[in-house]
Amino acid sequence: MNTEIIKLDKDHIDADKLRLAAEILRNGGRVAFPTETVYGLGANALDENAVKGIFAAKGRPSDNPLIVHIAKKESLKELAVEIPPETWKVVDKFWPGPLTVVLKKSAAVPGVITAGLDTVAVRMPSHPVALELIRMAEVPVAAPSANTSGKPSPTRAKHVIEDLEGKIEMIVDGGAAKVGLESTVLDMSVYPPVILRPGWVTPRQLSEVLGEVRVDPAITGAGDKKAVPKSPGMKYTHYSPDADLIIVQGEVERVVDKIGQLAKEYMGKNIRVGIMATEQTKEQYRADCVISMGDRERPETIASGLFDTLRKFDEDRVELILAEAIDHDGIGLAVMNRMKKAAGNKVMVV
Ligand code: TXA
Ligand code: MG
């Protein structure tokens, strides 16, 4: 299949170009588009065959449900039923933006989207290209992250092209995603609400609006080590670079020492080693490839650079990646959640 690639400036959207993308969606095709979190792979959420085409292009297991994207808050009423009143408080505060709410689904939502669950995940993105595209398509848009299943999520059009060119009808290039990590998924179908996937919107910000909010124990690592995450997607291997990844956690100086020592050891065995460092520490390492994820004092910079960094190591054919852990506070919870998944939970505490 020929994949058409179009480029749009998010501050001056060429409506004629974007209309081509909206037409494809309306006709049952697939379009990858930028959002503020990561790129999404969209199709008409009300068209079962179109939605099946998303699973096929990504190689996504059919038991992993999709998020439905809307362009105005009121559309939530068409997709969900028994909406608890606090839901409106939280969407008024964080929509449009990087928050997904899970609610009891309406009859309008096809079972392929929800993987047979009786709930549906809905989000209104803030990226102007995403919003305008959904508005023009005049249908809700189902969209997982636009990567091959299991790979790091795409934060640039180039990542989408690597994974999906030839498999979908169109890719809209709207520049780099600002947030860099997928949305916070909040289950509002239960009381108290539960965070199923940490993201840019933090537990504290949600508690300020909703009062008590729980975090799924499968994320915090509290309780049973084998706790099954309620968000089906969280159980899969995710975000995996081709290389093995080991996280080193502890006080920064000790982490730097340990990583330096491990790098030397593995390079001595002729293994190509990459180091995921931070602005504060990058000068202290010697390895085949050293990349700074961002600034430790500004974890949002690490969030936006994380997936891109993982893909760069693959490009560089690194065989082992040694990564510095960061603090689990605020956005750090989401960063460490993705990093641990990429590492298959290999964390070395020093
Ligand atoms: O930021 C984002 O959310 C991006 C952009 C494109 O909007 N999308 C995204 O989609 O990350 P995806 O498919 O990669 O992740 C969706 C997550 C999965 O972990 C899935 O299991 C969960 O949301 N999910 C979807 N529907 C659900 C439901 N009804 N109940 C619980 N979890 C659900
Ligand atoms: Mg994904």
Locus of tokens 């990564």: 323
**Distance (Å, rounded) from C-alpha 301 to C-alpha 178?**
9
**Distance (Å, rounded) from C-alpha 325 to C-alpha 281?**
12
Sequence-separated (6 or more) residues with CB below 8 Å from residue 51: 43, 44, 45, 66, 110, 112, 113, 142
Does 227 have pLDDT greater than 80? no
Q: What is the pLDDT of residues 53-103, one digit of tens each?
A: 999 999 999 999 999 999 999 999 999 999 999 999 999 999 999 999 999
Phi, psi angle pair for 137, to nearest 5°: -70, -25
Q: Give residue 345's region: left, alpha or beta (phi > 0; psi -120 to 50).
A: left
5 strand-pairing partners? 171
> SS3 of 123, please?
strand
How many other CB atoms sit within 10 Å of the CB of residue 264?
12
Does 225 have pLDDT greater than 60? no
Residue 234 CA: which ligand 1 atom is closest? 19
Label residue 236 by pLDDT band (50, 70, 90): low
Does 240 have pLDDT greater than 60? yes
Does 237 have pLDDT greater than 90? no
Residues in the chain: 350
Give the model's pLDDT for residue 129. Answer: 98
Give the model's pLDDT for residue 221. Answer: 73
**Tokens (6 digits) for 5:** 């690639």
Does 193 have pLDDT greater than 60? yes
More confident residue, 146 or 238: 146
Give the residue-averaged pLDDT of 178-201: 97
Give the model's pLDDT for residue 224. Answer: 55
Q: What is the CA radius of gyration of the chain?
A: 20
Q: Which of 176, 72, 85 shows the shortest CA–CA distance to 125?
A: 72
> SS3 of 9, please?
strand
Burial per residue of 59-84, b for 16 or more beta-carbon CB atoms within 10 angstroms, e otherwise: ebeeebbbbbbbbeeebbeebbeebb
**Distance (Å, rounded) from C-alpha 319 to C-alpha 287?**
12
Give the model's pLDDT for residue 242. Answer: 87
Question: 264 CA distance to ligand 2 centroid (A)?
Answer: 34
CA angle, 271 as apex, 270 and 275 as ends, to 5°? 130
Ligand nearest to the CA of 40: 1
Contact between 323 and 306 under an 8 Å Cβ cutoff? The reply is: no
Locus of tokens 């961002």: 294
Question: 16 CA distance to ligand 1 centroid (A)?
Answer: 30
Mean pLDDT computed over every residue of the chain: 95
Does 226 have pLDDT greater than 90? no
Q: Pocket residues for ligand 1 (CB within 6 Å)? A: 35, 37-38, 40, 64-67, 98, 100, 102, 114, 117, 119-121, 123, 125, 143-145, 182-183, 185, 196-197, 231-234
**Distance (Å, rounded) from C-alpha 199 to C-alpha 278?**
20
Strands (E), the chain: 4-7, 31-33, 40-44, 67-69, 99-104, 119-123, 141-142, 170-173, 184-187, 194-197, 214-215, 244-249, 273-277, 289-292, 320-324, 347-349
Contact between 69 and 95 under an 8 Å Cβ cutoff? The reply is: no
Phi, psi angle pair for 238, to nearest 5°: -140, 160
* pLDDT above 70 coverage of the chain, percent: 95
Give the model's pLDDT for residue 222. Answer: 64
Does 21 have pLDDT greater than 80? yes
> Pairing between strand 67-69 and 119-123?
parallel
> Between the ranges 61-65, 235-239, 266-270, where is the mean pLDDT highest?
266-270
Give the model's pLDDT for residue 228. Answer: 59
Question: 252 CA distance to ligand 2 centroid (A)?
Answer: 30
Residue 232 CA: which ligand 1 atom is closest? 21
**Distance (Å, rounded) from C-alpha 303 to C-alpha 321?**
18
**Distance (Å, rounded) from C-alpha 333 to C-alpha 207?**
15
* Least confident window among 7-16, 42-51, 173-182, 233-242: 233-242
Residue 179 CA: which ligand 1 atom is closest? 1
Question: 208 CA distance to ligand 1 centroid (A)?
Answer: 23
Phi, psi angle pair for 321, to nearest 5°: -110, 130
Question: 209 CA distance to ligand 1 centroid (A)?
Answer: 22
> Pairing between strand 273-277 and 194-197?
unpaired
